[in-house]
Chains A and B, each alone.
Chain A
């Protein structure tokens, strides 16, 4: 049971990684909105920006934005 739960949480982290890879700058924007925590938030921002730079070199499209456009066009929601 405990292993199954660990597996569930690991899968959630993997999906989050996938989400980060395919959602453009959403995570970066979030990191810029965290409250000022001195050295800690600077470190978090630094890591996030470096990771974002690596992501850009991979040339991944913003699939989340595409999906969002399709849903909003289809349902006429704005």
Chain B
């Protein structure tokens, strides 16, 4: 089930109604939200419900037995290895086995090995990371282990953030389970704004930029010149921002209406003045996750320059691999790691002081350029895009429509408009009568649906 569909609207309205009816009983409300989350996930593929339940069960059981002793640490490590193995099999099996299969076919040792394929369950990276977060937070003593398995099952399966994040930390989510249900007028106002912003970003900006600019150019870079190729790279930067932050906005808004608060996942990332700053603004929940659970345990900023550099490169390369089982994602992550290293050196020798006014445009160009391997189908497509960028002018068969420039401007504006404006709208929506809040939501949803294309392309981050 995808957010911007009539199917989800009916589902969510029903969930909202029953959640409200059960607001007096924490236990029943919890059980209902688990059932709703499994229904939401099962709408994709019923077969993977057992996988999600197994991941939740591993997290729950590990949480019961982890502790400071050696046995507790062994249990913690075993559970995490098991979860990473599950993730590895479902997400990376094809990546590592397909070349081997091809070799077997090429050497006539096998004919048809299509049965040796594994289907990628939607959102597995997100809910596995949440399970790991629970085990580690309990192991570190940051949260108490939950006695009631329903708490852990709800935390891992909670449908708003289930398939594409944000990655909610156990220490942030679980204490909210214990609170009585409460949605204030301000929370409703914020939720309405977030849901409408998210729908507009996805249904209008991201989808049209994809169809009218990015997909045609990335599919056939050989027939486009420098201008169109550069514009497509810029367009993809806007598309992926609107697509992914749109999903996060809707997820955070939907969770708010159910009484749960999530942290912001994007903070105007294209305003970053350095790559390090970009990662503090882009997919914040993932950045914080890999910082706290991977980079710092590896040694972080401690040790020799070589050790710190290794920690950073390994972390960023693995972050790239987390995004998808493909060399383009590994290259993308490694290039970000390399960029962060260069940035550190330049800051250390104070080489950036003289050109600090160029920090923003240089960061933007680097980030946009690095999206090329991320978006490209493979490494040869990446090369073809770079070739198109330096090709010079070429009259395209299909000229770029004027509306594309409008969409690019809107996408940029979403990054650049002062946050104070958003806060004013937010405050106003929180103060208007409740019927007016519903009216704004309904009108906005209808306008987004009316402006949208036929059909609904999936969110980019569903594949991760």
A interface residues with partner B (beta carbon < 8 Å): 1-2, 4-9, 11-13, 15-16, 18-19, 26-27, 30, 33-35, 64, 67-68, 71-72, 75-78
- Nearest Cβ on chain B to A61's Cβ, whole angstroms: 14
Distance in angstroms between the alpha carbons of A13 and B7 in the assembled complex:
14
Distance in angstroms between the alpha carbons of A2 and B183 in the assembled complex:
8
* Known A-B contacts A16-B9, A16-B10, A77-B208; A67 and B23 likewise in contact (beta carbons under 8 Å): no
Q: Which of A2, A12, A33 contacts B438 (CB 8 A)?
A: A12
Pairwise interchain contact A68-B450, C-beta atoms closer than 8 A: yes
Pairwise interchain contact B6-A1, C-beta atoms closer than 8 A: no
- Nearest Cβ on chain A to B315's Cβ, whole angstroms: 41
* Known A-B contacts A1-B183, A30-B7, A75-B451; A9 and B442 likewise in contact (beta carbons under 8 Å): no
User: Which residues of the partner chain B approach A78 to less than 8 Å between Cβ atoms?
Assistant: 453
> Is B435 engaged at the interface, CB distance under 8 Å to the other chain?
yes
User: Which residues of the partner chain A approach B442 to less than 8 Å between Cβ atoms?
Assistant: 11-12, 15, 18-19
Distance in angstroms between the alpha carbons of A27 and B7 in the assembled complex:
9
> Is B463 engaged at the interface, CB distance under 8 Å to the other chain?
no
In B420-464, which residues have CB < 8 Å from any A CB?
434-435, 437-439, 441-442, 446-447, 449-451, 453
Pairwise interchain contact A4-B403, C-beta atoms closer than 8 A: no
Q: Which of B183, B188, B438 contacts A15 (CB 8 A)?
A: B438
Pairwise interchain contact B434-A11, C-beta atoms closer than 8 A: yes
> Is B418 engaged at the interface, CB distance under 8 Å to the other chain?
no
Determine, out of B13-21, B136-144, B366-374, the stretch whose residues face the partner at the interface.
Answer: B13-21
16 contacting pairs across A/B (C-beta < 8 A): A1-B182, A6-B20, A8-B438, A12-B438, A13-B17, A15-B441, A15-B442, A30-B10, A33-B7, A72-B451, A75-B403, A76-B403, A77-B403, A77-B451, A77-B453, A78-B453
Closest to B185 in A: A4
- Nearest Cβ on chain B to A11's Cβ, whole angstroms: 3
> Is B402 engaged at the interface, CB distance under 8 Å to the other chain?
yes
Pairwise interchain contact A9-B439, C-beta atoms closer than 8 A: no
How many residues on chain B are close to A (CB under 8 Å)? Answer: 33
Pairwise interchain contact B183-A5, C-beta atoms closer than 8 A: yes
Distance in angstroms between the alpha carbons of A2 and B20 in the assembled complex:
8
User: Which residues of the partner chain A approach B188 to less than 8 Å between Cβ atoms?
Assistant: 4-5, 8
Apart from A1-B183, A1-B185, what are 16 other A-B pairs with CB-CB below 8 Å? Answer: A1-B184, A5-B183, A5-B188, A7-B434, A7-B435, A8-B437, A11-B439, A12-B438, A15-B442, A16-B9, A64-B446, A64-B449, A68-B450, A75-B451, A76-B402, A77-B208
User: Which residues of the partner chain A approach B453 to less than 8 Å between Cβ atoms?
Assistant: 77-78
> Is B401 engaged at the interface, CB distance under 8 Å to the other chain?
yes
Q: Which of A4, A30, A68 contacts B434 (CB 8 A)?
A: A4
Q: Which of A12, A18, A35, A71 contacts B441 (CB 8 A)?
A: A12
- Nearest Cβ on chain A to B130's Cβ, whole angstroms: 27
- Nearest Cβ on chain A to B332's Cβ, whole angstroms: 31
- Nearest Cβ on chain B to A10's Cβ, whole angstroms: 8
Q: Which of A12, A64, A68, A76 contacts B13 (CB 8 A)?
A: A12
Interface-centre pick from A16, A18, A19, A77 (highest chain B CB count, 10 A): A77
User: Which residues of the partner chain B approach A76 to less than 8 Å between Cβ atoms?
Assistant: 401-403
Pairwise interchain contact B439-A15, C-beta atoms closer than 8 A: yes
Pairwise interchain contact B20-A9, C-beta atoms closer than 8 A: yes
6 A-B pairs with least C-beta separation: A11-B438, A15-B442, A68-B450, A67-B450, A4-B434, A7-B434
Distance in angstroms between the alpha carbons of A26 and B454 in the assembled complex:
12
Distance in angstroms between the alpha carbons of A73 and B384 in the assembled complex:
35
Interface-centre pick from B439, B441, B446 (highest chain A CB count, 10 A): B446
User: Which residues of the partner chain B approach A2 to less than 8 Å between Cβ atoms?
Assistant: 20, 23
User: Which residues of the partner chain B approach A15 to less than 8 Å between Cβ atoms?
Assistant: 438-439, 441-442
In B7-36, which residues have CB < 8 Å from any A CB?
7, 9-10, 13, 16-17, 20, 23
User: Which residues of the partner chain B approach A9 to less than 8 Å between Cβ atoms?
Assistant: 13, 16-17, 20
- Nearest Cβ on chain A to B210's Cβ, whole angstroms: 13
Closest to B7 in A: A30
Distance in angstroms between the alpha carbons of A77 and B453 in the assembled complex:
8
User: Which residues of the partner chain B approach A13 to less than 8 Å between Cβ atoms?
Assistant: 13, 17
Closest to A67 in B: B450
Distance in angstroms between the alpha carbons of A15 and B449 in the assembled complex:
14
User: Which residues of the partner chain B approach A4 to less than 8 Å between Cβ atoms?
Assistant: 185, 188, 434
Distance in angstroms between the alpha carbons of A11 and B432 in the assembled complex:
14
User: Which residues of the partner chain B approach A72 to less than 8 Å between Cβ atoms?
Assistant: 451
Interface-centre pick from A1, A27, A33 (highest chain B CB count, 10 A): A1
Distance in angstroms between the alpha carbons of A13 and B435 in the assembled complex:
12
